[in-house]
Amino acid sequence: MAKVALVLIDGFEETEALTTVDILRRGSVEVTTVSLTGEEVVHGKHGVDVHADALFDEVEKGSFDMLAIPGGTTDYTEHEGLLDWVRRYDKEGKKLAAICAAPAVFGKAGILKGRKAVCYPGMESWLTGAVIGQDIVETDGNITTSKGPATAMFFALRLLEILRGEKTAKDVEKAFLVPLIRG
Amino acid sequence: MAKVALVLIDGFEETEALTTVDILRRGSVEVTTVSLTGEEVVHGKHGVDVHADALFDEVEKGSFDMLAIPGGTTDYTEHEGLLDWVRRYDKEGKKLAAICAAPAVFGKAGILKGRKAVCYPGMESWLTGAVIGQDIVETDGNITTSKGPATAMFFALRLLEILRGEKTAKDVEKAFLVPLIRG
């Protein structure tokens, strides 16, 4: 079973974080939500308090196939342990994903040089060295990035396709009723 | 400030519940998440544990402008206190909203006769007496219903428009990046 660590810090964007957890788990991906705050309960940007599955210090960093970072705040860029985790996964060719403000973490970690990436419109200066993409979700090698709350379901479906293949992603897309909003 | 009670029961659909909370709070609506289980921590359908703001027995039922019910499970239809709350609000002309499986609560409460409503495709037999609508979000008088996870943001934006007007809804829609996914 594919394993994903999705990190949470106070101020995380609820739709981006939890739509991603929802869609990946619908596709039988094992998602572990990891608190970066030292506390089990993490406070979302719009007042939603969520119980993380594990604390940062407890998890075996090497045990996941993908590290995913929702947006909502640039505080993620201040967490040195997260920056080390990102650099390690990039070096090992493991999968990395971030949306909205969170691609800034990849910029600060120095892994975006010459790679296509997107983020919340107006935050592109954080993506040091990146080639700014045009799509709502961009995948360049092991790195997938996306723009913001409304694009979260498409971001999550892309991650599901990468981890579990096109058929699983299409099945979840249909059950989630995505075809109804695509005109 | 407009006040909304959004009820949570074990098995609630995370994207539907929390995208709605997210968007309404972005629009300065005061949302109270209300646990129907007697416990403060409510367990989502895809393993997300959320702290509700209040317990059902604690809240003053008359103090809200709208009662909103996310989907994920028909267990909501078994909660007699919720059915009473729905019937009371309908009688008082207060606003009611439900998405996915949850319009079944309105069907069981007997408030849909001759009114346009939608739900998750295939569950229409729960909407006793309703005229089944065609749009992803339908508003008929005080009752707004919608189809499922992918339509949750449009459902929430409709509720915001009803509660706070078109300008606020448009501002939040733009910040949420909805225009990027509408082609």
pLDDT value, residue A168: 98
Cβ contact A147:A119 at 8 Å: yes
Average pLDDT of the segment spanning B17-28: 98
Percentage of chain B exceeding pLDDT 90: 99
Chain A residues with CB under 8 Å of B181 CB are 136, 150-151, 154, 181
Cβ proximity of A96 and B140 under 8 Å: no
pLDDT of residue A182: 81
Q: Are strands A49-51 and A41-43 parallel, antiparallel or unpaired?
A: antiparallel
* A35–chain B nearest CA distance, Å: 13
* Residues of A in Cβ contact (< 8 Å) with B137: none
CA dist A86 and B12 (Å) reads 33
Q: For chain A, which residues score pLDDT lower than 50? A: none
- Enumerate residues 124 to 183 of chain A having a beta carbon within 8 A of any beta carbon in chain B: 136, 147-151, 153-154, 176-178, 180-183
- Confidence (pLDDT) at A8: 98
**Measured distance CA(B144)–CA(B181) in Å, rounded:** 23
Positive or negative, the CA dihedral B148, B153, B92, B80 is: positive
For chain A, how big is the Rg over CA atoms in Å?
A: 15
Q: Is the pLDDT of residue B64 over 90?
A: yes
Per-residue tokens: B138: 């339908």
Residues of A marked active site are found at: 100
> CA gyration radius for chain B?
15
The predicted-structure confidence for B165-182, as pLDDT tens digits, reads as follows 999 999 999 999 999 998
Q: Residue B140: enclosing H or E segment and its boundaries?
A: strand B137-140
CA distance A14 to chain B (A): 7
Dihedral angle at the C-alpha atoms of A170, A134, B179, A174, nearest 10 degrees?
0
Q: Best of A8, A15, A137 to disrupt the B interface by mutation (most B CBs within 10 Å)?
A: A15
**Please, are residues B110 and B128 in contact by the beta-carbon 8 Å criterion?**
yes
The angle at the Cα of A5, spanning A156 to A18, to the nearest 5 degrees, equals 45
- Cα of A182 to nearest chain B Cα, Å: 7
Judge whether residue B103 has pLDDT over 90.
yes
Question: B134 to chain A: nearest residue by CA?
Answer: A180
CA atoms within 13 A on the CB side of B98: 33
How does the average pLDDT of chain B come out, rounded?
A: 98
| pLDDT at B183 (0 to 100) | 54
Q: Tell me the pTM.
A: 0.98
Cross-sheet strand order for the sheet of A41-43: A41-43, A49-51, B49-51, B41-43
Q: Look at residue A157 in the predicted model and tell me its pLDDT.
A: 98
Under an 8 A CB cutoff, do A15 and B18 touch?
A: yes
Give the Å distances, CA to CA, from A11 to A16, A35, A43, A45, A62.
12, 12, 6, 4, 26
Q: Which CATH class is domain B3-181?
A: alpha beta
